[in-house]
């Protein structure tokens, strides 16, 4: 009988994660993984069952590397690339504030989350920024978001329907 704990996908990723010895390497691995496997715009569907577990393990590694390389002040105020987290947040908030299209606002919000979800950005800055972005997005969507017929909504959003045989 097969051992349910044997998982070649996870084993391979554990080795990749262990190889990331610097904060920069860990962040690159995390952002690349999120974009390819977890984003609404993902390009790789091979890790549907293991993706979130792998993301968690990469996040743990990045957090440990962040605490190893950053001072306490940097941990609370800087993104993992060293930039001031509040300045990064302010740029995204200004972009969202100027946005009037709900589909563009969705992209701004999604891309913010992909690029900055903790441990990349300190939680204190991320959560407040995410809340403000989400509020603006919901205001743009309004109550008529689903007023379009499904086929028109798919066309406007550029949805590619995938059917399984």
| CATH number of 39's domain | 1.20.1280.10
Q: Convert the pLDDT of each residue in 28-51 to its tens digit.
A: 999 999 999 988 888 888 888 899
Q: How many domains does the chain have?
A: 2
> What is the overall mean pLDDT for the chain?
91
Residue the block writes with tokens 């715009």: 41
Domain holding 107, by residue range, is 82-165
Domain end marker among 69, 97, 114: 69
Reported as a pLDDT band with limits 50, 70 and 90, residue 1 is very low
Count of CB atoms within 10 A of residue 91's CB?
12
Is 1 contained in some domain?
Answer: no
Distance CA 82, CA 118 (A): 14
Q: Look up residue 148 and give its two tokens.
A: 């379009």
Q: Convert the pLDDT of each residue in 4-34 to its tens digit.
A: 678 898 999 999 999 999 999 999 999 999 9
Are residue 38 and residue 93 in the same domain, yes or no? no
Quick one: pLDDT at residue 148?
79
Quick one: pLDDT at residue 4?
66
Among residues of the chain, what percentage have pLDDT more than 70? 96
Residue 37 DSSP label: I
Domain end marker among 37, 69, 101: 69
Q: Is this prediction's pTM over 0.95?
A: no
Q: Convert the pLDDT of each residue in 47-98 to its tens digit.
A: 888 999 999 999 999 999 999 999 999 999 999 999 999 999 999 999 999 9
Domain end marker among 35, 69, 103: 69
């Amino acid at each position: 009988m097969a051992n349910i704990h044997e998982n070649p996908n996870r084993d391979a990723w554990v080795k990749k994660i262990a190889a990331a010895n610097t904060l920069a390497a860990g962040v690159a691995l995390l952002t690349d993984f999120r974009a390819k496997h977890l984003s609404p715009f993902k390009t790789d569907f091979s890790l549907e069952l293991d993706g979130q577990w792998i993301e968690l393990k990469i996040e743990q590694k990045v957090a440990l590397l962040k605490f190893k390389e950053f001072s306490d002040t940097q941990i609370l105020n800087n993104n993992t690339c060293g930039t001031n987290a509040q300045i990064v947040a302010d740029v995204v908030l200004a972009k969202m504030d100027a946005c009037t299209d709900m589909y563009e606002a969705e992209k701004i919000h999604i891309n913010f989350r992909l690029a900055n979800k903790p441990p990349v950005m300190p939680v204190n800055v991320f959560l407040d920024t995410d809340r403000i972005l989400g509020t603006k997005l919901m205001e743009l969507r309004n109550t008529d978001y689903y007023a379009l017929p499904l086929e028109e909504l798919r066309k406007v959003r550029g949805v590619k329907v995938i059917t399984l045989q």
